[in-house]
Amino acid sequence: MVTSASLSVPVRVKPGAARARVGGRHDGPYGPALVVAVHAPPVDGRATEAARRALADALGVRPAQVTLRSGAASRDKLFEVSDAAHLADRLAALRETS
């Protein structure tokens, strides 16, 4: 059976990081957020796009399944992952890594 459930993922983006990585937890305005560090600078949406792609890679989904819901000009963002009912456990594990 195929489900079309979506998963909202709060993210704290750290642009311009020396080392790109996904993992850790930040208490942000959308609740406990996953930390995503990216090399891209916070210019013209490059850090947001890099974070979207890094999140998709970390969750094992296609980048097209990850869309930005809010926070385009903020470090605190809310992404939505479509067809992701099975990803809740993987997301929880990523928040625990630091």
Whether residue 92 contacts residue 86, with contact meaning beta carbons closer than 8 Å, is answered with: no
Q: What is the per-residue pLDDT for 4? A: 58
- Rounded CA separation 55/20 (Å): 11
Secondary structure class of 36 (helix, strand, coil): strand
User: Among residues 8, 90, 14, which one has the least CA distance to residue 50?
Assistant: 14
Q: What is the per-residue pLDDT for 77? A: 97
What are the φ/ψ torsions at residue 93 (nearest 5 degrees)? Answer: -65, -40
Quick: pLDDT tens for 30-67.
999 999 999 999 999 999 999 999 999 999 999 999 99
Domains annotated on the chain, with CATH: 7-96 (3.30.1200.10)
Could you tell me the pTM of the whole model? 0.84
Could you tell me what percent of the chain has a pLDDT over 70?
94
Whether residue 85 contacts residue 5, with contact meaning beta carbons closer than 8 Å, is answered with: yes
